[in-house]
Amino acid sequence: MPLAKALELAQEYDLDLVEVAATARPPVCKLMDYGKFKYESAMKAREARKNQAHTVIKEMKLRPKIDPHDYDTKKGHVVRFLKQGDKVKITIMFRGREQSRPELGFRLLQRLAEDVQDLGFVESNPKQDGRNMIMVLGPHKKKTEAMAEAREAQAARKAGRQPRQDEEAEEPQAPADAG
């Protein structure tokens, strides 16, 4: 349709004439409310950004001669990070004579990898980097899945804490005096 007629039609319906495909022959235009279209596309982009997950690498530092309780604590942190869907970089720092025994660090990293293998996998094998030995663990589940599970758990906890309206809080009865 001619441009003049299309503009007249757009004015009649109080809409905008928007060019959709400029490279097409002939160019393709559409009658729409351009302000509403921009608003809706901005809302879609905002929603997509909200659901987007950022890859985060958490770091845990250990020493080769670590106490069993300290190891369990550090392992608990690694487990928490993997459950949240984050990657974990484990660094073993060697000092002094410990540098001559890198197999201690290697065994410690292997033990940690075996302990958390149900939550994550070894993304990069242990490798010596100067005074440090580094290994990266990746989670089995994606960050978005972990975020969705966390939201569901939080909603369940919130629902569990709220007392229902049909239940009234009962006050404990004081024992009667026997005297």
* Residue 94, helix vs strand vs coil: coil
Summarize pLDDT for 57-93 with one digit per residue, the tens.
899 999 998 999 999 999 999 999 988 888 999 999 9
- Take residue 100 and report the two structure tokens written for it: 């001559």
Summarize pLDDT for 11-22 with one digit per residue, the tens.
888 888 888 888
CA distance 88 to 145: 17
Classified by CATH at the fold level, domain 57-139 comes out as: Translation Initiation Factor IF3 (3.30.110)
* pTM score above 0.85: no
Where do the structural domains in the chain lie, given as residue ranges?
3-46, 57-139
Q: Under CATH, which number does the domain 3-46 receive? A: 3.10.20.80
For residue 56, give Cα distances in angstroms to 27, 53, 76, 109. 45, 9, 18, 20
